[in-house]
Amino acid sequence: MPVIRVIPCLDVASGRVVKGVNFQGLKDAGDPVELAANYYRQGADEITFLDVTAASENRSTTKDLVTRCAEEVFIPLTVGGGIRGVEDVTALLKAGADKVSVGSAGIARPDLLSEIAMEHGNQILVVSLDIKRGDTKSGFTVTSHGGRKETGLDAMEWVTQVQQLGAGELLINSMDADGTKQGFDIELIELVLRESSIPIIASGGAGTISHFVEAAQAGADALLAASVFHSGAIAISEVKSELAKAGIEVR
């Protein structure tokens, strides 16, 4: 088992961190720069910064916030939202991002993924998949635009395709579990693992420390959460301590 990474996620809209349930009812959760700095001090392994309304509003990610976050944290920073071309990726990397997360744009134009990988390398490309249960062969389907649009894509077929296109990591967002605090979607994690040869970041549903352990034991390479960290209900150090007690290697 690889060293497990613990990653707080900053879902940003209009310059503020927001959080909802099943991608709905977004509420203010604080200033992204302050939160990023705080999580860095707490021992986060990475920070993920997602501009959750950039795609639906047809605009680019706010690069000023990316730069300000990058100035406060000295761990890998992944940025996503509103990426439509290689030039957007180049600009975000120059602004301070270490990796980029691409979701909706890759669905609209799959060649974008291979273009990014060719220009900047697979290691910077995280493909984000907002997945929910649906009427497809695998029983799971992919959505786009922050979960607002149905794509009709079978999730496991898309997992296979994005790897062929150059994805370096997969960010698996469970739409069904998102914000519910009922636990990561273990069934989804295990299904994706059967199709994936690259690292998987599990996202959606963390509510207790034991949920993190369960997802790591299911095979996730990294564990991403938002609500439980933003509220202060769980500290990153507590997650790492519990993982270590379970015999799971952490940084």
Least confident of 27-41, 48-62, 83-97, 203-217: 48-62
Residue 251 lies in a domain: no
> Domains in the chain: how many in total?
1
Across 200-227, average pLDDT: 96
The pLDDT score that the predictor gives to residue 26 is 60
Residue 86 lies in a domain: yes
The pLDDT score that the predictor gives to residue 56 is 57
Residue 216 lies in a domain: yes
Residue 226 lies in a domain: yes
pLDDT tens-place string over residues 91-103: 999 999 999 999 9
Q: In the annotation, is 31 catalytic?
A: no
pLDDT tens-place string over residues 148-162: 788 989 999 999 999
Residue 149 lies in a domain: yes
Residue 250 lies in a domain: no
Alpha-carbon distances of 17 from 52, 102, 133, rounded to whole Å: 10, 19, 27
Domain boundaries, position 228: 5-245
Residue 107 lies in a domain: yes
List the CATH number of the domain containing 75: 3.20.20.70
Across 137-150, average pLDDT: 88
Taking a C-beta distance cutoff of 8 angstroms, is the pair 203, 171 a contact? yes
Does the structure show a pLDDT above 70 at 28?
Answer: no
203 beta partners: 173, 224
Across 46-51, average pLDDT: 91
pTM of the model: 0.92
Mean pLDDT value across the chain: 91
Angstrom distance (rounded) from CA 95 to CA 63: 6
Does the structure show a pLDDT above 80 at 203?
Answer: yes
The pLDDT score that the predictor gives to residue 22 is 46
Taking a C-beta distance cutoff of 8 angstroms, is the pair 103, 54 a contact? no
Q: In the annotation, is 111 catalytic?
A: no
Catalytic residue among 51, 88, 130, 185: 130
Residue 38 lies in a domain: yes
